[in-house]
Structure 1
Amino acid sequence: MTSPEILLTRIDNRLIHGQVATQWAKELGASVLIVANDEAAADTFRQELMNMAAPAGVTTKYIPVADINGTLEQLDPGARVFIIVADPLDAKRLMEKTDAVKRINVGNMHMSEGKHQVATTVALDDTDKDLFRQMKEAGADLFIQRVPGSAVENPDALTK
C-alpha cells in the first residue's frame, strides 16, 4: 500500500501566502498543504484568509503539531504533501512525531529583537540555532531557499 509522500517541510512564519501557493506548491506538485501550527489550527478566521491564497484544487489542512500522524493516516495513499510550519520549534516537534519529516526548507523568519540576519529573509537567535543543530543531528536536511530555483543561501548559517 502506498502512503502519502511528504515532499517538503517549510518554515515560514507567514504560513500559506502567495509565494507558497504559486511557487512552492506548484513546483512540488503538492496535492495537500498541511499547516502544522497550534495557533493557526485554532484560528478559523486566519485559516479562511490562508485558504484564499491556497492554489485551486489543493486540499488544505490546519492541525496542531501533535496531530501530524493521525492526519497523515487519514490522507489518500497517493497524496503529495507539503507541510508548512511557523518556526523551528514547530519543525523540531514534527520531527519528534514522525520520521517522514527530514527535508526542511527555511524560507522566512522575520527579524525581531535579539535576532541576527543570516540570509535575505531569515533572522535567527541562539535558540533558533540550537533547534536547527538538534534537527541536523537527528538527520534533517536543512536549507535556506526563498523560492524554487533561487540560490540556496548561506547553508552553514543555521547551525553555526
Structure 2
Amino acid sequence: MIINFARIDDRLIHGQVATVWAKQANAKRIIIVSAEVFNDDIRKKIVKQAAPAGMKVNVVDVEKAIATYHNPKYANDTVFYLFTNPSEVVDIVKGGISLKSINIGGMRYEQGKTQITKAISVDSQDIKAFRELHNLGVDLDLRVLADDSKKDILKIIDEKYGK
C-alpha cells in the first residue's frame, strides 16, 4: 500500500478535506481508521456519502487497517488515511504501517480537553500519543489548511503544559 497522505481531523470528510487535502493526497482511496466511526453505521454512511467524486472510502478499525496494509493484494493502492485521534495513529504504526508523517488538522474541544490552538484541543492521552509518534520517528505536521505554515505541536504543548 502506498500512503500518499495521512491526517488527523475529527470532522473527517468535510469541505477542506474533500476539495483541498484529497487533491493534494492524489490517492485513489480514503481509509478512515476509527473504531468509533467503524461501530457507528449512521456516521459511516454519512462519511462515505461526503467523499469526493470518484474516490473510494473505507471505514475500518485499527486491526482491519493493519491487515489491509499488509495484504499484498493492495500493494499498489494509493491511500489517504484519515484519523479522529492520535492514539489510533500510534496503534497502526506499532502494527507495522510505515507512516512517515501525520498532518494534524482538527481535534475539537470537548470536556476534559484543553484548547492549544484554534483548531486543536488535547487531553493527556492525546499528548502522550503525540510524544510517542515523535519518538517513533513520525513527523508531526500541524497545519489546519494546506497553505498554513507548519507548526510544531510538541512545542505548543510544552509551552502550554511545560515538559
Same fold (TM over 0.5): yes
Counting aligned pairs with the same residue, the percent is 30
Which region of structure 1 is more displaced relative to structure 2, 134-143 or 71-80? 71-80
* Alignment of 1:64 onto 2:58: no
Aligned to 2:92: 94
Aligned to 1:33: 30
Judged with a 3 Å threshold, the aligned counterparts in structure 2 of structure 1 residues 44 and 109 are, in CA distance, closer, same or farther, namely same
Task: Trace 1:85-124 onto structure 2 (pairs within 5 A).
Answer: 85-124=83-122
1:29 Cα deviation from its structure 2 partner:
0.6
TM-score, scaled relative to structure 1: 0.87
Give me the CA root mean square deviation: 1.9
> Gapped runs of 5+ residues in structure 1?
none
Aligned residue-pair number: 157
One of 55, 76, 79 as aligned partner of 1:78 = 76
1:93 Cα deviation from its structure 2 partner:
1.0
One of 120, 125, 134 as aligned partner of 1:127 = 125
TM-score, scaled relative to structure 2: 0.86
1:145 Cα deviation from its structure 2 partner:
0.6
CA contact (8 A) 1:31 1:58 kept: yes
Regions of 4+ moved over 6 Å: none
1:117 Cα deviation from its structure 2 partner:
2.1
Residue type of the partner of 2:32?
V
Residue type of the partner of 1:12?
D
CA contact (8 A) 1:102 1:139 kept: yes
Judged with a 3 Å threshold, the aligned counterparts in structure 2 of structure 1 residues 84 and 98 are, in CA distance, closer, same or farther, namely same
Aligned to 2:3: 6
- Rounded Cα–Cα distance in structure 1 between residues aligned with 2:9 and 2:73: 23
